[in-house]
Amino acid sequence: MEDNGQIKNNWLSKIFKHSFTFLFIILGFLILLFILVPLFKMVFLSDKEAMWLALLDSETIQAVWLSIYAALIATAIGFVLGVPLAYLFARYEFPGKNIFEGLIDLPIVVPHSAAGIALLFVFGSNFIVGKGFKLFGIQFVDSLAGIIIAMLFVSVPILISSAKESFRKVDVRLEKVARTLGASPWQTFFRISFPLAWRSILAGSLMMWARGMSEFGAVIILTYHPTTAPVLIYERFETFGLAQAIPVAAIMIIISAVVFIGVQTLLRWRKNYD
């Protein structure tokens, strides 16, 4: 009895001693379950036959492929326009910089349906920018261009933030030394700044691509057809119910998971000059 009491006391004292870690593990585990269980259940416990059928269904293939390449184009545009802005934020001080930095992140927090309406308000064919593009044969309603700008709008802040932080980590004196050694600002950027920041910029681009690919709210306001995968999931759910929506949703989750693992690997891949 005395021994048992002693053992029990040891256990209690250990739990009490490590109560901080213990409690945090329990809380952390709960949120992990909350995130992972629905995703895993959908991927691993959904009807495999239905998934294969979905994979062979031309409408699904088109929707997934459209999501992939529209997001890719949005990412390419985001890269060309966003990386220079990220560099400016990282290197220069100018009036209103903090406000601009904050505003850039706004698309992340506004409801994406509202973002879609805001875009429609500018790029719609009744408005000046939309009219301007229409002259070149580009329309943003019910078109690939509409999908791309919706994806670009909601996901480019991810790339800009990632690029900005990675440029900030590049010691500015490396750039200064390069200049004194005869490098122009262009040469300094392409030989020093970018090679030292590319890893995080690529990770940010992948995240932007994945986020753009999964965008629903802004896309559906601008473009219902052609149908992207998230819109198809919604359409199938509304029209045929859960069973028809799950396979497409599972495919999108798998693609997102692959991208996410890729990003993590890229970021953890130890740089040989760390």
Partner 1 sequence: MISLAGVNLQLHGFALQDINLKIDNGDYFILVGPSASGKTLLLETIAGLHNVTSGKIWIDGRDITSLESEKRNIGMVYQDCALFPHLTVRDNIVFGLVIRGKKPAVINRELKRIVQLLNIGYLLDRRPHNLSGGEKQKVALARALVTNPELLLLDEPLGALDPQTRETVRQEINKLHQELGITILHVTHDFEEAVTLGTRIAVIGEGSIKQAGLPDEIFHHPNSRFVAYFTMAVNVFPGAAERENDNKTFFIVENTRFETEESITGACYAAIRPENILLSNTFPVNNGQGFFTGVITGIINRGSIINIIVDLPPTLVCLLTRNAFEQMNLTVGQQVYLTVPPSSVYLFTD
* Residue ranges that bind partner 1, judged by CB under 8 A: 93, 171, 173-174, 176-184, 187, 191-192, 195-196, 272-274
Q: Please, what is the minimum distance in Å from the beta carbon of residue 274 to partner 1?
A: 7
Minimum CB–partner distance for residue 196 and partner 1 (Å)? 6
Q: Say whether the peptide bond before residue 226 is cis (omega within 30 degrees of 0).
A: yes
Q: Identify which of residues 3 and 274 has a Cβ nearer to partner 1 in the complex.
A: 274
Q: What is the nearest approach in angstroms of partner 1 to the Cβ of residue 83?
A: 18
Q: Nearer Cβ to partner 1, position 197 or 210?
A: 197
Cβ distance to partner 1 smaller for residue 2 or 274: 274
Single-letter amino acid code for the residue at 69: Y
CB of 271 to partner 1, least distance (A): 8
Min CB(97)–partner 1 separation in Å: 13
Q: Which is nearer to partner 1, 239 or 272 (CB)?
A: 272
Which C-beta is closer to partner 1: that of 46 or that of 200?
A: 200
Nearest to 151 by CA among 211, 107, 212: 212
Please say which residue, 153 or 189, places its beta carbon nearer to partner 1. Answer: 189
Q: Round to whole Å and give the CA distance between 199 and 201.
A: 5
The CA distance from 193 to 174, in Å, is 8
Using alpha carbons, list the distances in angstroms from residue 199 to 27, 35, 75, 267. Answer: 33, 27, 16, 7
Distance separating alpha carbons of residues 176 and 196, to the nearest angstrom: 14
- Comparing CB distances to partner 1, the nearer of 173 and 268 is 173
CB 83 within 8 A of CB 225: no
Measure Cα distances from 42 to 50, 53, 194, 256, 261 in Å: 12, 16, 40, 13, 18
Those residues whose C-beta lies under 8 Å from the C-beta of residue 178, and which sit 6 or more positions away, are 187, 188, 191, 192
Report in angstroms how near the CB of residue 89 gets to partner 1 at its nearest: 16
Least gap, CB of 182 to partner 1 (angstroms) = 5
Q: How many residues does the chain have?
A: 274
Q: Alpha carbon of 22 to those of 19, 27, 39, 136, 230: distances in Å?
A: 5, 9, 26, 62, 39
- Amino acid letter at 218? A
